[in-house]
Amino acid sequence: MVDLIAVFAGSFILALSGALMPGPLLTVTIAESARLGFLVGPLLMAGHSFLELLLVIAIVLGLGPFLKLPSVTGIIALLGGFLLLYMGQGMVKSAGSLSVENETREIERKHAQHPVIVGMLASLANPYWTLWWATIGLGYLVAAMDYGWLGVSFFFMGHISADFVWYSIVSFGMSRGKFLLNDRSYQVIVRACGVVLFCFGGWFLFSAKNYLAEVFF
């Protein structure tokens, strides 16, 4: 059970690190919550989470045996590790210039679709989301698969919990007309998550060395 809790916690932190960074989904949440109210955030996350659930199921059912090959796992961990190191230093470096409230300036039009649909479309429109799942998400999911469906379930619950927590805070704050976190607090959180990403990157690279050693030595 302790291992599963660790899977949940690790997944939560990794997902939070991604959710905190400005992007299409955050922009829509800020703009639409101020206009339509608190429920916009959870509804957007419902669409986002449904899309990710389909992706996780497809990976587990269709690619499970392939992903468990030491060579494949090693390459995934290697790419994910380098990306985590790159993202971690990028988050720490750019944190001082981030401002959540300024993201509202990027909205050029109103979204007429239902928030659940918008949540899926905004996710697909974000290249970072695809890149995250192709490397970091995939690498951690492969590790969680060692614990079977329970591991996958704890991974997914940890992941979507981070999304729901952060975007609900954003949605609630904007629906009240004032963001609950000021820019300084937001920047501190982003820096902290950047450091965590760096640590995970080191762990991924260490894991890659062990997996690839089975193949080449």
183-212: pLDDT as tens digits: 777 778 778 877 877 887 888 888 888 777
What pLDDT does 111 receive? 47
Helices (H), 145-217: 148-175, 183-216
What pLDDT does 8 receive? 94
pLDDT digits (tens, 9 = 90+) for 206-217: 888 877 777 776
Structural domain boundaries of the chain?
A: 2-216
Say yes or no to pLDDT of 59 above 50.
Answer: yes
Q: What is d(CA 9, CA 95) in angstroms, rounded to the nearest whole number?
A: 23
Least confident of 106-120, 124-138, 165-179: 106-120
Inter-helix orientation angle 40-67/148-175, to 10°: 160
Q: Give the pTM.
A: 0.69
Say yes or no to pLDDT of 64 above 50.
Answer: yes
Nearest residue to 56 (alpha-carbon basis) of 188, 171, 154: 154
Say yes or no to pLDDT of 107 above 50.
Answer: no
What pLDDT does 150 receive? 92
Query: Taking residues 1-16, what's their average pLDDT?
Result: 88
Instruction: Select, from the ranges 4-13, 51-60, 184-193, the one with the highest average predicted confidence (pLDDT).
Output: 4-13
Nearest residue to 18 (alpha-carbon basis) of 139, 157, 167: 167
Say yes or no to pLDDT of 84 above 80.
Answer: no
Query: Taking residues 137-166, what's their average pLDDT?
Result: 89
- Kindly list the distances between the CA atom of residue 91 and the CA atoms of 21, 34, 88, 149, in Å, as whole numbers in the listed order: 8, 27, 5, 32
Residue 82: how many other CB atoms lie within 10 Å: 15
Which band of pLDDT confidence, cut at 50, 70 and 90, is reported for residue 164? very high
CB proximity list for 102: less than 8 A, separation 6 or greater = none
Chain position carrying tokens 């499970």: 64
Higher pLDDT, 56 or 197: 56
What pLDDT does 130 receive? 67
Please say whether the beta carbons of 167 and 44 come within 8 A: yes
Q: What is d(CA 27, CA 105) in angstroms, rounded to the nearest whole number?
A: 9
